Structure 1
């Protein structure tokens, strides 16, 4: 008997603003920058990479590179992606 396991794709579950905001918030609380980039990529995929690339002023290729774990995008690039996703960063006392 063979067991078939399908890969998990977070983008399939990111179907509304509340879920997306909660997802990004939880990831940010880990302090793991690579995980944040990956999560932004998940949200961009859920929203449509082409649409997010256009809204952020990046090419699709640049967007994929920016959200790849291990990449080191400039803050401006991450900020443009966050805004294109319809999100905003806020600061609170730790």
Structure 2
């Protein structure tokens, strides 16, 4: 089989449940890379139904694609609206404490 005949992989197709989408976002948020978070929001919006997310977030489809696109830099308020539109909420939990270094005698 030729590679050109293979279906292009789209991770959005594998995020079928709200739990899977939330877990994916949690993993990406833990790493803390803003570009990865933006890309993850884009992926989850596509997995959920971009039209549904745009309507609930009060933004245009074109605006959401631009905001979550490769060169997008969404404001925090926009990120919160998008997350809320996806039926999720942003929460915080303590980071694991770093082990204390033992004093050298």
The runs of 5 or more residues in structure 2 that have no matched partner are 96-105
- Computed over aligned residues only, the root mean square deviation of the Cα atoms, in angstroms, reads 1.5
Matched, 1:62 2:63: yes
| Structure 2 equivalent of residue 53 of structure 1 | 54
Q: TM-score, normalised by structure 2?
A: 0.81
The answer to whether residue 9 in structure 2 is matched with residue 8 in structure 1 is yes
Q: Which of the two has higher C-alpha Rg?
A: 2
1:12-63 Cα deviation digits (max 9, x unpaired): 0010011111100111111111111111111111111111101000000111
Q: Which segments of 5 or more consecutive residues in structure 1 lack a partner in the other structure? A: none
Report what 1:43 is aligned to: 44
- Any residues of structure 2 matched to 1:13-92 within 5 Å, and which? 13-92=14-93
| Runs of 4+ deviating beyond 2 Å | 1-8
Structure 1 length as normaliser, TM-score?
Answer: 0.90
Instruction: Give the length in aligned residue pairs.
Output: 94
Q: Which moved more, 1:67-76 or 1:16-25?
A: 67-76
Secondary structure, counterpart of 1:11 in structure 2? helix
